[in-house]
Structure 1
Amino acid sequence: MGEKRKSQPKEASAKKARSQKQTSKDSTGKETATELGHTAIPYPKPVSGSSFTECTAKLTVTLAPAYSRDHWAGIHEALNNMLLHYVPQVRGVILAYSKVKPRSDTALMFFDSPYGQLEVSARLLLWRPIAGMALRGQINVQSPDHIGMLLWDTFNASIPASFIPKDKYEWRPFNDDEIAARALPTYNQSEAIADGELEEESGSNTDADVTMTTQGESDADVPASPYTSGNRYGSGEWVVKGTSQCVGSEGSLEFVVVDVIRANEVLSVTGALR
């Protein structure tokens, strides 16, 4: 008979402990243990300051042949087309410009192209988010996969589920009663006419002067966002773990920028909850 191999309980338990726990370093450089299968959120180094900045930059604008006699009209049209677009020359989204000065009296034309190239300098207001900044957005969608937000009613931001700490937050699905209670009543014009809820201003019969009210609810009372005034749509929401307290306050949520994504001329932000 073969010799029975002796068990080594100490070595086995040590290997099991090492496989169940891994160490990682947070932003402060300290090592923290994380459970197997739950990688640490890569929080970047904190960055102070605003995501908006001003600078004087040199830009190259393209002038169409129609502006060969009026460079200023062509310059302003080219700069207007850059507004709310990501411009690699300035590494940011141009929000406004001022103090425009041409750097040359003539535009350059290359080969057989009818378009001219002219360099100008301008004072620019830019949106330039950086990883590590703390931003606040208005929640517009929640799902088990992510939290979607809108920044300043203009820019998109998303927090993937992998960047939501599971030791602090959890996904809570709505039941049927909650979904029904959260839905706002909707009316179309024919139903409003049948209910006698259309009011016409005296002396006017035009459609522009017809106003519609919904059971004592004025336009000012209707939330601008489905996530304001406690009205939420969808299959559920992210809440503080162990409670029913939803993330954010009054529909807004603060997060840390993890990555800035550029797709063509559109800039969006990926964030993480603390």
Structure 2
Amino acid sequence: MGEKRKSQQHADSPKKSKAQKPRRKDRKSSKIADVARAPITYPSSTEGSSFSECTARLTVTLAPVHGSDHWAGIHETLNSMLLHFVPQVRGVVLSYSKAKMLSHTALLFNDSPFGQLEISVKLLVWRPLSGMTLQGAINVQSPDHIGLLLWDTFNASIPASLIPKDKYEWRPFSDEEVAARALRNGSIANSAAEDQGDNIDDDAESVTASKEHSVGVLQDARFGSGEWVLKGTSQSVGSSGSLSFVVVDVIRADSVLSVTGALR
């Protein structure tokens, strides 16, 4: 009798395990569904400006050609830093001033012909941080992201995953809207070319007209096959041409910074 009961238990055990497996899968799938429905988490708000000034102490490498003119080598080095990310100051250098040599003698090491010179300089730095609120000009919209240009210099992107779907939705353009925008872009471009030809003798007026038409083209070209709008309405998020967003991440590629943002 004991052997029969044991064999009966072994025979029943696989059935129990098979019955339990679907339950575990259901629990796992429910957890994944909960994560998918989780709201977007925004970084804590960061006060202050993305621009800052700092006085940095840097080591300048002087080529042999600048052995008799240290300032020429210093300015050459500082100019090469402009609009590039510099790790020593943790930001993109926009301008410099009040450069000062901390020593009038460049040091040579081993058999290298290049001299090392310590300087101090005041730098204007662009240093965006997570949680800051920035504003940029929209240059492209797609179902995947919104692209922006900050201060006509830096790139920013708001991926669709960071656009709250309870507030915003993607609205594709109809064929008539796409054709009308293409026609408008073509007429603006032709008008700008004609104005430039008519104002060859007047450079100032030609430049002004070209800029005005370029702005018109940019404002219309920022829309492709559709646009992001407030949910339930036709109001575009880029109706004014610019958009405020929250910095989520700052991406560094070599010496270039780009920003990933989110809409509130």
Q: Does 1:256 align with 2:246?
A: yes
Instruction: Indicate the RMSD between aligned Cα atoms, in angstroms.
Output: 3.3
Q: What secondary structure does 1:136 align onto? A: strand
Shift of 1:41: 2.1
Compared CA separation, residues 220 and 82, structure 1 to 2 (3 A): closer
Shift of 1:264: 0.8
**Unaligned runs of at least 5 residues, structure 2:** 1-15, 17-22
1:1-274 residue pairs with structure 2 within 5 A?
20=30, 36-183=35-182, 184=185, 185=187, 186-187=189-190, 199=198, 208-209=200-201, 218-219=209-210, 221-224=212-215, 226-228=217-219, 232-274=222-264
Shift of 1:171: 1.1
Query: Which amino acid is the alignment partner of residue 201 of structure 2?
Result: D
Compared CA separation, residues 35 and 249, structure 1 to 2 (3 A): farther
Q: What secondary structure does 1:258 align onto? A: strand
Compared CA separation, residues 232 and 270, structure 1 to 2 (3 A): closer
TM-score normalised by L of structure 2? 0.78
Q: What secondary structure does 1:99 align onto? A: strand
Shift of 1:221: 4.3
> Match for residue 9 of structure 2?
none
Could you list the structure 1 runs, at least 4 aligned residues long, displaced by more than 4 angstroms after superposition. Answer: 15-22
Aligned pairs, number: 240
**Unaligned runs of at least 5 residues, structure 1:** 6-11, 23-33, 201-207
Preserved CA contact (<8 Å) 2:139 2:221: no
Preserved CA contact (<8 Å) 2:101 2:120: yes
CA displacement, residues 128-184 of structure 1 (integer Å, 9 cap, x when unaligned): 110000000000011111111000001111111111111111111111110111222
Preserved CA contact (<8 Å) 1:179 1:233: no
Greater C-alpha Rg: 2
Shift of 1:225: 5.9
Q: What secondary structure does 1:129 align onto? A: coil
Compared CA separation, residues 257 and 199, structure 1 to 2 (3 A): closer
Higher mean displacement: 135-144 or 109-118: 109-118
For residues 92 and 57 of structure 1, what CA distance do their matches in structure 2 show?
Answer: 12
Query: Which amino acid is the alignment partner of residue 155 of structure 1?
Result: F
Compared CA separation, residues 137 and 48, structure 1 to 2 (3 A): same
> Match for residue 8 of structure 1?
none
Q: Point out the structure with the larger strand share.
A: 1
Identity %: 63
TM-score normalised by L of structure 1? 0.76
Compared CA separation, residues 137 and 74, structure 1 to 2 (3 A): same
